[in-house]
Structure 1
Amino acid sequence: MGVAPVTTLLIALAGGLGSAARFVVDAVVTRRLGSRLPWGVVVVNLTGSFAIGVVVGSTSGLTQTVVATGFLGGYTTFSTASLDSARLALRGRGGAAVAHAAGTACACVLAAAAGIAVA
C-alpha cells in the first residue's frame, strides 16, 4: 500500500509552515530572554511535544498525520536541541550541557504525556 501523493504534499506544506513557526517562536523567545541558554528551542520543543500529545490523543487519520507528522514535525527540533547541548559543552559549560540535554528530554516526554491526558 502506497502513500497518496496528496498526503505527501500536505505533509510537506504543513512541515514548511511548522518550520517557519519554529523560526518565529525561537527568534521571539531568544530576543526576550537572551541567548545565554537556548530558551527558544526549549520553548519550541516543549510546546510542540504538548501539542503532539493533544493531536495524537484527539485526532486520527489524515488530520493526525498532517498535523503531527507535518506541522509539528517541522516545528519541533531534536537535532537543534542536540546541537545546542553540544555547543554548551564545547564552550566549557558541561553542567549546563548535561542539564539542557536531560532536562529537555524529560520535560518534553512529560509535556507529550500531559497533552495526551488533556486530549
Structure 2
Amino acid sequence: MTPLDLAWVCLGGGLGSLLRWWVGRMVGERYHGDLPVSTLLINVSGAFVIGYLSVRLGVDWRDRYSTAVMAGLLTGGLGGYTTFSTMQLDAATLTRQAPGRAVSYLVISIGAGLAAAALGAALAHVSG
C-alpha cells in the first residue's frame, strides 16, 4: 500500500459517507414509517452500483484494491456509502419493538441487496 492508495481510500470513504448521510437525511425527512427505509435504500443502491462497476472495471474479488480507481471508488466510496453495521443496529432496534419486523427487514435487505448486485452486474455485461 502506498500513501497515494491510502489517500484515495480516505477521499472516497469521506465522500461516500457524506453521500450516505445526505441520502439518509433526505429519506428520513420524508418517510416516518416502521422500517429503516433509508438504510435499506442506501445498501441496495450501493450493491447495484458495486455490482455494475465491478463488472465494468473487471474487478476480481481477490484483487479489488489494486488501482486508485478501485481503492478510491469501490473500497472507499462505496464502502463509505453502504453500511452493514447500521443495518445490524436497525435490526437490533426493531427486535426489541417487533421481532418479526426485524427478521423481515433483514431478509428484505439481504435479498434486495443480492438482487441489486446481480442486476447491476447483468446490466454491465449487457451494456458492454
1:100 paired residue among 101, 105, 113: 105
Q: Normalising by structure 2, report the TM-score.
A: 0.86
In 1, Cα distance between equivalents of 2:53 and 2:72: 10
CA 35–5 in structure 1, closer or farther in 2 if over 3 Å, else same:
farther
* Partner SS state of residue 36, structure 1: coil
Q: Is the 8 A contact 1:45 1:108 kept in 2?
A: yes
Tell me the CA shift for residue 65 of structure 1. Answer: 2.6
Structure 2 gaps, min length 5: 59-66
Runs of 4+ aligned residues of structure 1 deviating over 3 Å after TM superposition are none
Q: What TM-score, normalized by structure 1, do the two folds share?
A: 0.92
CA contact (8 A) 1:38 1:84 kept: yes
Counterpart selection for 2:12 from 11, 14, 23: 14
Q: Residue deviations 1:37-67, cap 9 Å, x none?
A: 1000000001000011111011154312321
- Of 68, 81, 89, 1:83 maps to 89
1:47 alignment partner, one of 45, 48, 54: 45
Q: % of aligned pairs identical?
A: 37
Alignment map for 1:21-36 (pairs within 5 Å) = 21-36=19-34
| Residues in 2 aligned to 1:109 and 1:23: alpha-carbon distance in whole angstroms | 23
Q: Which stretch shows the higher mean deviation, 78-87 or 58-67?
A: 58-67
Structure-2 residue corresponding to 1:114 = 119
Task: Find 1:56's aligned residue among 54, 57, 69.
Answer: 54
CA distance in 2, matches of 1:50, 1:113: 7
Structure scoring higher RCO (CA < 8 A, sep ≥ 6) equals: 2
Number of residue pairs matched by the alignment = 116
Q: Could you say which residue in structure 2 is the equivalent of 1:69?
A: 75
Gaps of 5+ in 1: none
Amino acid at match of 2:92: A
Once the two structures are superposed, what CA deviation does each residue of 1:9-43 show, in whole Å capped at 9, x if it has no partner?
Answer: 11111101100100010111111111531000000
